[in-house]
Amino acid sequence: MRGMLTFKVVVWAAVVWPTVSLSCQSGSMKAGTIGVAGSSYVPHMRFDVASIRESRGGNWSYYDNPPKTSYFHAERVDAFGLILNAYNVDMMSRVKNAPDWTMATKYDVTAKSDAPTEEAIAKLSDRDAAAEQNHMLQGLLADRFKLQIHSEVRQSTVYELVATPRMAKLMTPFHGDSAKTISSCALVPSKAGLEMDSKGCSSSMLLGYLKQALDADVVDHTGLSGMYVFHLMFGWQRPREGIDSYPPVQYAIPEQLGLELRKTQGPAMFWVIDHIERPTRTRVQNAVGFLQLGLIESSDPLAAKPYSGE
């Protein structure tokens, strides 16, 4: 998650970051105890120092969490977004019992571990390293926000995506170099809604966007694979009064792509917050830890707290 700009109402529009499949058992947890699906590796690393301060103005969120490192930096992010990030939750409605302040108060967060931890995480596979990064952020939330959270399976809305005969005319297969078309794969916001002018984007990426736009799981029954050329425009979930909007995504998909969304019910994973507090105050006398890690200058008044997890 490096150098990414987000804004809450269309968090899926400009952000695509590597994810890792996680598995867990339902039950309350104080810190991250999630293992890695398909791997025997158990995440266990922690941040050594972390600073959390309230942000001063600005509307854009910024994340910098390079692969295979312990370094985490975020600006103008809320606690709710940190929870989504830490637990790989890609739909806001899947987190329950969040107090209003978790989405209203913005923070600047910087955290890092020592050199031995950096060396250890760099040697992990991509999947295990990503799981370790999630685990470390989960631990930070437990320590500084006193987060206690548990997962549970509930019945929820699910959409089945199926192809219609019109799809062949509206979605053209692309067999070129994906590196040359990836820039066309972002949803571009406007007053009327969101627009994607794909010059060759993957069907899996489209599926992810639909999941975010619908705020529900989408099961793919189209048989699509590979990359496609298509044009998609759909309106905001809450259209702005007095502004002509693109059609809702449920109508845009069949009209513009020749795909059909069938609404049904199915099991889905939810995360329920049992307890959370505003972050604990940092300790000025421990700023030396950040100086040693090279995260601040000696003249910077940043207060850094060693991460103990206690």
Say if residues 69 and 118 touch (Cβ distance below 8 Å): yes
Q: Where are the domains of the chain?
A: 2-152+274-306, 165-257
Dump pLDDT digits (tens) for 226-241: 999 999 999 987 766 7
Q: How many Å apart are CA 29 and CA 140, to the nearest integer?
A: 13
- Return the pLDDT at 34: 53
Residue 122 has φ and ψ, to the nearest 5°, of -70, -25
Residues 6+ apart with CB under 8 A from 22: 34, 35, 36, 37, 87, 88, 131, 134
| Nearest Cα to Cα of residue 159 among 210, 205, 231 | 210
Do 230 and 257 contact (CB within 8 A), yes or no?
A: yes
Instruction: Please tell me which residue, 11 or 263, carries the higher pLDDT value.
Output: 263
Predicted local confidence at residue 289, as pLDDT: 53
Is pLDDT above 70 for 4?
no
Query: What is the pTM (predicted TM-score) of this model?
Result: 0.72
Tens-place pLDDT, residues 75-106: 999 999 999 999 999 889 999 999 999 999 99
pLDDT classification of 202: cutoffs 50, 70, 90: very high
pLDDT at position 286 is: 46
Is the pLDDT at 141 greater than 60? The verdict is: yes
Neighbours of 163 (CB within 10 A): 17
Provide the residue type at 91 as one letter: M
Mean pLDDT of 240-244: 76
